[in-house]
Amino acid sequence: MQDIWRLSAQDLAALIKSKKVSAKEAATAALARLDAVNPAINAVVDHKPQEVLAQAAAIDAAIARGEEVGALAGVPVTVKVNIDQAGFANTNGLKIQRDVIAATNSPVIDNLRKAGAVILGRTNCPAFSYRWFTTNLIHGDTKNPRDPAITPGGSSGGAGAAVAAGIGHIAHGTDIAGSIRYPAYACGVHGLRPTVGRVAAFNASLPERPIGPQSSAVSGPLARTIGDLRIALHAMSGKDARDPWWVPAPLEGPAMPKRAALCLAPDSLEAAPEVRAAVIDAGKRLQRAGWTVEEIADTPPLREPAELQTKLWLGDGYEAQLAAAEREGDPGALACLRGNKSKVFPFDADALSKTLTRRATLSRQWLQFFETYAVLLIPVSGELPFPDGLDRRDEASFARVWRAQLAQIAIPFMALPGLTVSTGLVGKIPVGVQVVSGRFREDLCLLAGEAIEAGGVPPAPIDPVS
């Protein structure tokens, strides 16, 4: 079979289970694709081919014995370099963590392996996973395979670039302020930020995270089809007692009328004409699929949650984060922290209490909104994917980047799920829409996402553009 790496995860798993393709053949094809295109984009920054082949051999042996091997049987999957994988460094894009070698797997790795996935390699992120651009001093720059002049996104930029270029069929990413949704948008693939508590997370190699990241950071999948996101979420969301935030919520919730709200400028977000057109297009695709789509003038608040989320993310432990960034010396990380200092510091116990108290009020408004609508369609970003490195050009560019990302930063504050659906290209620049729903209603996001995807042309793996 030619170009196994082009297949969807669903199709490949079915072929492997039926013994029409072996897991070893799939792994060999994935490794060959990695060797062929990764040098141009630097998406995968660590992998061990012999270990990959050994994982695949174990899947083939289990199938030969007639054992159940899981929904991702033999499917090559990449994981972000900021989660624990036994025997690998959890660098999080940092020289100062090059010797943080994990002794055990994170729950995400274990759950993927239980589902039969073959872990292909580890993908790049910016230092500390801070930015919507992917470069650091230990692994270097990741390039967008569609256009090296634009960002691959961040912080899961390696994940987005890998899956767009056909390196693996599914990519793992993490998201605290858009770090799954934005790379999917920038690289022209799909990406799901699950509800907080859906996917168990824990890195035994590192100190416990502060309450801000604990209560809003998530792991989730990026893929080229919505169907692959669905099976990836199912695989990733297994129980793991190491994460006290994990919730045994069903993956399918009660049926709701197919009613969507559409907002082009939520909380006064300035959206480019091409961005607005993509949201309108997504709404029309939903209507053609039988959904009721109602354009609304505004949503519950986004601007205030975005400000408070930034405080929780960067303000909780700000001085320690700044000290670590200064030790690392990464210009992008320092720009992020110094550029946001006036917004987030000082952040004392009183500020934390007020932020968490306010979160209850804002979350309530959003949860009540989703009693009326199954999903909300809004821009992923106010702009098309940025020129690479835009946030470091000058103060005005830094402010421009953060202003455009309003709708990404805010959603995690309410612990809501968000889905980026790639809807096409403007020239060679990807564009898409963000689909948001109520807590633990990823199923509604995916249901709408499948209808939007079906109304257009699903993303296909591409050769990197030089």
Q: Of residues 8, 17, 24, 80, which has the active-site annotation?
A: 80
Average of per-residue pLDDT across 316-340: 96
397 catalytically annotated = no
**Domain presence at residue 67:** yes
pLDDT of residue 299: 98
pLDDT band at 1 (very low <50, low <70, confident <90, very high): low
Residue 8, sorted as left (phi over 0), alpha (psi -120 to 50) or beta, turns out to be beta
pLDDT digits (tens, 9 = 90+) for 228-242: 999 999 999 999 999
**Domain presence at residue 460:** no
Domain that holds residue 137: 4-454
Q: Which residues contact 221 (CB under 8 A, 6 or more apart)?
A: 170, 171, 172, 173, 180, 191, 192, 228, 229, 232, 233, 236
Tokens 């995807």 found at: 453
Q: Which residues contact 427 (CB under 8 A, 6 or more apart)?
A: none
Q: Of residues 22, 129, 155, 237, which has the active-site annotation?
A: 155
**Domain presence at residue 464:** no
- CA-based R_g, the chain, Å: 20
Please name which of 111, 112, 92 lies closest in space to residue 102, comparing C-alpha atoms: 92
**Domain presence at residue 461:** no
pLDDT digits (tens, 9 = 90+) for 158-199: 999 999 999 999 999 999 999 999 999 999 999 999 999 999
pLDDT band at 457 (very low <50, low <70, confident <90, very high): confident
pLDDT digits (tens, 9 = 90+) for 120-152: 999 999 999 999 999 999 999 999 999 999 999
Cis, bond preceding 461 (omega within 30 deg of 0)? no
**Domain presence at residue 55:** yes
Q: Of residues 8, 106, 156, 179, which has the active-site annotation?
A: 179
Element (H, E) at 320: helix 318-328
Average of per-residue pLDDT across 193-209: 97
**Domain presence at residue 103:** yes
pLDDT digits (tens, 9 = 90+) for 246-280: 999 999 999 999 999 999 999 999 999 999 999 99
pLDDT of residue 458: 84
pLDDT digits (tens, 9 = 90+) for 60-119: 999 999 999 999 999 999 999 999 999 999 999 999 999 999 999 999 999 999 999 999
Tokens 């014995």 found at: 65
**Domain presence at residue 465:** no
143 catalytically annotated = no
Residue 342 CB: number of other CB atoms within 10 A?
7
How many domains does the chain contain in total? Answer: 1
**Domain presence at residue 182:** yes
Q: Could you give the strand order of the β-sheet that contains 170-175, starting from the edge strand earlier in sequence?
A: 44-46, 118-123, 76-80, 170-175, 218-223, 190-193, 418-426, 429-436, 375-378, 259-262, 292-295
Q: What is the CATH number of the domain that holds 121?
A: 3.90.1300.10
- Give yes or no for residue 2 having a pLDDT over 90: no
Q: Say which range, 92-101, 124-133, 208-217, 415-424, has the weakest mean pLDDT.
A: 208-217
pLDDT of residue 466: 83
155 catalytically annotated = yes
Q: What is the mean pLDDT of the chain?
A: 97
Question: What letter would DSSP give residue 415?
Answer: T
Task: Give the SS3 label for residue 36.
Answer: helix
